[in-house]
Copies of this chain bind each other. A is one copy, B any other.
Amino acid sequence: MPQDKFDKVMILAKRRGFIFPSFEIYGGVAGFYDYGPYGSQLKNNIENLWRSYFVLKDKCLEINTPTITLYEALKASGHVDEFTDMTVDCKKCNQSYKVEDITKNNKIKCPTCGAELKDAYPVNLMFSTEIGFGKSRDAFLRPETAQGIFTDFHLLYRYAREKLPFGVVQIGRGYRNEVSPRQGVIRLREFNMAEAEVFFDPKDKSHPDFNDVKNKEIKLFDNKKEMKISLEKAVKDKLIDNQALAYYMYLTQEFLLNSGVDYKKFRFRKHADNELAHYATECWDAELFSERFGWIECVGIADRSTYDITAHIDSTGTDMYALRKYDKPKTVEVQKIVPDMGKLGPLFKDKAGEIKNILGNMDVKDSGKISVKIDNKKIDIPKDCYKIVRTKEKQAGEKFVPHVIEPSFGIDRILYCVLEHSYIETKKKGEEYHILKLNPKIAPIKV
């Protein structure tokens, strides 16, 4: 089989110490790669360039949370139930396949041994593990760095002096136990991400720096044709829902082009409704073109709305609201729940304290049934366990759940595309040379 560009880039990348297949001496395993000395420097440089846009320019806060994540957090975020691929196994050789890959090739027999396939079933794509022994806790390796940010939102909001918008970033490993990855560095089971979660008031998705860049053009693909359009016009024409999304698309374009991405092999494409992840209301992908794989999603810029913060509030009862301040404090009439521990105690035993706390912080809007969620189970609270009282309260503002705009970068895919876009074949004195012409901003060796 003749070598295509992917093969050539990967051969060069291995020889020059950019990328090695992991565990090669043990036969290797799909979806894992090592960065050698040049690759590692290139990765560090790309991540630091990214920081220069998101931390220095956009003033996001950087945090660092564990990759091992409690079951409870990922149950709440929807990943335990929704982060799945339909999978099918071979009846004979027991090899597993992603249904999407099989049907794409119109193969209804096992691509490996030709035998019949069993019925398709969904598998969860998270790597699972257990924390501790005996009384152990279920956990997963994080599928995204984002949940580590969301579960700290209330602390970070205070740190940011309770002002919106503010952004928090995290750079680190993400994991996805792909069914049978066959696309080299493009579909990794362990990968490097850089994510920003920027919190906005849903009533105001303007970005403070939007005016400075509103005339800049970005390149969009509407699934039919490419167009260049100014940020301002794209938002005005409702092509892009809001300023915040548009601003981060611009920042993304700047970062990618400065990393050495070929402008001709770059575009933004909007997700169709049936493509959206379980948490997203609008999403734009920055796609980079690769000769073997076609257009590859390298960045997703999603409007996650209130999805995640609401999920964590519902599951834990923590006050993770933001405050829209009134000009001066208002006295308002509110309905409060006054729990009766004499009734709650005998009925709910060791859970009674937690239920009391959740009830005490609850907003009562109607007089219907009241229920709380503990360990992801809904528990109805009998009417004799509490009283509802009307009381006057001084309020500094209106509580609300912030919206999240999330630019999420796949560092490894970007790094590979930068290598492919920089790859040049040339001849010198009749001999063939393969060269990587990297952008000085990110090149491992700076001359």
Contacts and interface: CB of A to CB of B under 8 A. Distances in A.
Given A36-B155, A132-B177, A70 B29 contact: yes
A379 interface: no
B68 A175 contact: yes
Interface stretch (A38-46, A322-330, A338-346, A381-389): A38-46
A95 B134 contact: yes
Interface string A115-151: 0000000010001111111110100010000001001
A68 B25 contact: no
A189 B68 contact: yes
Contact of A152 (B36, B64, B70, B190): B36
Interface string A94-122: 11100000000000000000000000000
Contact of A141 (B20, B37, B95, B129): B129
B318 A148 contact: no
Interface centre among A35, A89, A154, A318 (most CB of B within 10 A): A35
B135 A95 contact: yes
B63 A34 contact: yes
A183 interface: no
Contact of A190 (B25, B62, B67, B312): B67
Contacts of A44: 62
Contacts of A72: 23, 26-27
Given A68-B175, A190-B68, A37 B63 contact: yes
Copies of this chain: 2
Nearest to A137: B29
Contacts of A25: 151, 154, 312, 316, 318, 320
Given A26-B316, A65-B22, A65-B34, A17 B134 contact: no
Contacts of A156: 17, 36-37
A66 B127 CA distance: 14
Contacts of A152: 20, 34, 36
A418 interface: no
A96 B132 CA distance: 8
B127 A68 contact: yes
B135 A94 contact: yes
Nearest to A173: B67
A87 interface: yes
A73 interface: yes
20 contacts: A17-B156, A22-B65, A22-B148, A23-B72, A25-B154, A26-B72, A26-B151, A34-B63, A34-B65, A34-B148, A36-B159, A37-B156, A40-B64, A41-B62, A44-B62, A66-B190, A68-B127, A95-B134, A127-B130, A128-B130
Given A22-B65, A35-B63, A96-B132, 17 more contacts: A20-B152, A23-B69, A23-B151, A24-B151, A25-B318, A26-B151, A27-B72, A29-B131, A36-B61, A37-B168, A39-B64, A68-B127, A68-B175, A89-B133, A94-B135, A132-B180, A141-B141
Interface of A: 14, 17, 20, 22-27, 29-37, 39-41, 43-44, 61-70, 72-73, 87, 89, 94-96, 123, 127-135, 137, 141, 148, 151-152, 154-156, 159, 168, 173, 175, 177-180, 189-190, 312, 315-316, 318, 320
Q: Considering the complex of A and B, which 7 residue pairs feature the smallest CB-CB distances, nearest first?
A: A37-B61, A35-B64, A96-B134, A25-B316, A34-B65, A40-B64, A26-B72
